[in-house]
């Protein structure tokens, strides 16, 4: 039987259509549209969204559809592609933050010694979604806490501390609260090479000088619209964490309070709508298809929360251990 995640069915796997699933005319039409988008017969798995009536897969990358993609490129041309490859990383980041990098067909990562401590450890990722407000993650077992963007405004994280955080384009590097948090908690800061607006070179260089051993950049082939927490999950695997637990990585919480930006901040961006829900469902399918091929163990602490769009997948593939 095919895998069914988030109302999406895996219809094509290992170079052939999956047995025991009827490929009717509606699905075949969606299949043909997908082939037209990627401009060749699929080499990787293909899924069918039973709600939106469309096929999708990892080969629908930035170059195939820049409005709906999970990966910048395919593995074989990740580092060499002109827009998002190694040349981009050098021009925007390594020229100002340091050139020693680990380069693979899945990620480019600046080598700093501080990152070595996460190997074989349990990481807790706390995102800004509503489940991080409602789940008692503070009493779970972990070695290190990771977070993202406006993490320094969250009272629970101020108390718990953050060992590593990714710095989004809307974070002011001179913000007083931000810098007080970093100084108090010795936080490692990562710049994502795919997230715009990119910081000015002089601003990044000054920040690196201020925190010389605590700043790095990384560039995963995986991107998507799911936000920084999704790419932190990837980073946990790249750094060979033993286990990655996560909370506040929920999906598309329309109208719900943001966990990081005060009681008045609502997830009400104009682009959030039912179509975004469909997009997030599909991109979560591709995220977990990708991550579950890696060696890291994952635990969804938000499993069962009404806003958590990974619940269906985690219950089937990596159920929460009580």
CATH number, position 88: 3.90.1480
Place of tokens 């969804």: 300
What pLDDT band is residue 168 in, cutting at 50, 70 and 90? Answer: confident
On the CB side of 251, CA atoms within 13 Å amount to 29
Residue 71 lies in a domain: no
Place of tokens 């930035």: 62
Residue 65 lies in a domain: no
Average pLDDT over residues 196-208: 94
Asked whether residue 320 carries a pLDDT value surpassing 70, the answer given is: yes
Phi and psi, residue 55, nearest 5°: -95, 150
Instruction: Report the alpha-carbon distance of residue 84 to residue 226 in Å, rounded.
Output: 18
> Is the domain of 233 the same as that of 153?
yes
Structure tokens at 133: 């407000």
> Is the domain of 186 the same as that of 48?
no
> Is the domain of 119 the same as that of 170?
yes
Average pLDDT over residues 61-87: 95
> Is the domain of 20 the same as that of 134?
no
Largest CA distance in the chain: 61
Residue 115 lies in a domain: yes
- Res 268: pLDDT: 55
- Res 264: pLDDT: 60
Residue 279 lies in a domain: no
Asked whether residue 269 carries a pLDDT value surpassing 60, the answer given is: no
Radius of gyration of the chain (CA): 20
> Is the domain of 101 the same as that of 239?
yes
pTM (2 d.p.):
0.94
Return the number of other C-beta atoms located less than 10 Å from residue 104's C-beta: 13
> Is the domain of 39 the same as that of 81?
no
Return the number of other C-beta atoms located less than 10 Å from residue 119's C-beta: 10
- Res 21: pLDDT: 80
> Is the domain of 10 the same as that of 145?
no
Residue 284 lies in a domain: no
- Which is nearest to 168 in space by CA: 192, 203, 132, 186? 192
What pLDDT band is residue 277 in, cutting at 50, 70 and 90? Answer: confident
Cα–Cα distances in angstroms (integers) from residue 10 to residues 1, 75, 105, 279, in the given order = 9, 21, 25, 16
What pLDDT band is residue 275 in, cutting at 50, 70 and 90? Answer: confident
Total domains present in the chain: 2
Average pLDDT over residues 68-93: 96
Q: Percentage of residues in the chain with pLDDT exceeding 90?
A: 86
Q: With contact defined as beta carbons under 8 Å apart, do 151 and 247 qualify?
A: no
> Is the domain of 132 the same as that of 256?
yes
Average pLDDT over residues 228-256: 91
Peptide bond into 197 cis (omega under 30): yes
What pLDDT band is residue 84 in, cutting at 50, 70 and 90? Answer: very high
Per-residue pLDDT of 301-313, as tens digits, reads: 999 999 999 999 9
Q: What angle do CA 59, 62, 68 make, to 5 degrees?
A: 85
What pLDDT band is residue 262 in, cutting at 50, 70 and 90? Answer: low
Structural domain boundaries enclosing 24: 4-56
Residue 292 lies in a domain: no
> Is the domain of 14 the same as that of 152?
no
Asked whether residue 189 carries a pLDDT value surpassing 70, the answer given is: yes
What pLDDT band is residue 206 in, cutting at 50, 70 and 90? Answer: very high
> Is the domain of 191 the same as that of 46?
no
Per-residue pLDDT of 87-127, as tens digits, reads: 999 999 999 999 999 999 999 999 999 999 999 999 999 99
What pLDDT band is residue 263 in, cutting at 50, 70 and 90? Answer: low
Q: List 9's β-bridge partners, or say none.
A: 4, 48
Residue 64 lies in a domain: no
> Is the domain of 48 the same as that of 164?
no
| Average pLDDT across the chain, whole number | 93
Query: Picking from 30-34, 198-202, 261-265, 309-313, which range would have the lowest pLDDT averaged per residue?
Result: 261-265
Place of tokens 């977990």: 288
- Res 291: pLDDT: 98
Taking phi first (over 0 means left), then psi (-120 to 50 degrees means alpha), and beta for anything else, what does residue 98 get? left
Cα–Cα distances in angstroms (integers) from residue 305 to residues 127, 135, 241, 314, 320, in the given order = 14, 9, 25, 12, 12
> Is the domain of 148 the same as that of 48?
no
Residue 285 lies in a domain: no
83 burial level (CB within 10 Å; 0-12, 13-18, 19+): exposed
Q: With contact defined as beta carbons under 8 Å apart, do 314 and 303 qualify?
A: yes
Average pLDDT over residues 247-267: 70
Instruction: Report the alpha-carbon distance of residue 291 to residue 278 in Å, rounded.
Output: 20
């Amino acid at each position: 039987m095919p895998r069914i995640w988030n109302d999406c069915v895996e219809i094509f796997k290992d170079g052939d259509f999956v047995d025991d699933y009827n490929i009717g005319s509606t699905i075949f039409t969606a299949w043909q549209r997908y082939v037209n988008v990627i401009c060749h017969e699929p080499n990787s798995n293909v899924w069918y969204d039973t709600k939106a009536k469309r096929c999708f897969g990892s080969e629908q990358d930035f170059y195939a559809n820049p409005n709906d993609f999970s990966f910048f490129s395919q593995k074989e041309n990740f580092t060499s592609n002109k827009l998002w490859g190694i040349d981009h990383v050098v021009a925007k980041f390594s020229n100002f933050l340091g050139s020693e990098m680990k380069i693979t067909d899945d990620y480019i990562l600046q080598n700093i010694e501080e990152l070595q401590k996460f190997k074989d450890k349990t990481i807790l990722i706390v995102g800004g979604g509503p489940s991080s407000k409602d789940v008692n993650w503070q009493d779970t077992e972990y070695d290190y806490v990771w977070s993202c963007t406006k993490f320094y405004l969250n009272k629970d994280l101020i108390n718990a501390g953050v060992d590593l955080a990714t710095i989004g384009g809307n974070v002011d590097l001179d913000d007083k609260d931000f810098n007080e948090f970093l100084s108090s908690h010795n936080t490692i800061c990562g710049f994502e090479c795919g997230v715009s607006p990119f910081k000015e070179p002089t601003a990044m260089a000054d920040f690196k000088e201020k925190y010389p051993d605590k700043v790095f950049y990384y560039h995963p082939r995986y991107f998507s619209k799911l936000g920084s927490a999704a790419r932190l999950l990837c980073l946990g695997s790249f750094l060979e964490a033993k286990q990655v637990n996560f909370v506040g990585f929920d999906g598309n919480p329309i109208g719900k309070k943001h966990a990081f930006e005060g009681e008045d901040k609502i997830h009400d961006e104009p682009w959030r709508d039912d179509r975004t829900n469909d997009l997030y469902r599909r991109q979560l399918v591709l995220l977990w298809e990708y991550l579950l091929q890696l060696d890291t163990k994952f635990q969804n602490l938000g499993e069962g929360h009404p806003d958590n769009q990974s619940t269906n997948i985690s219950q089937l593939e990596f159920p929460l251990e009580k």
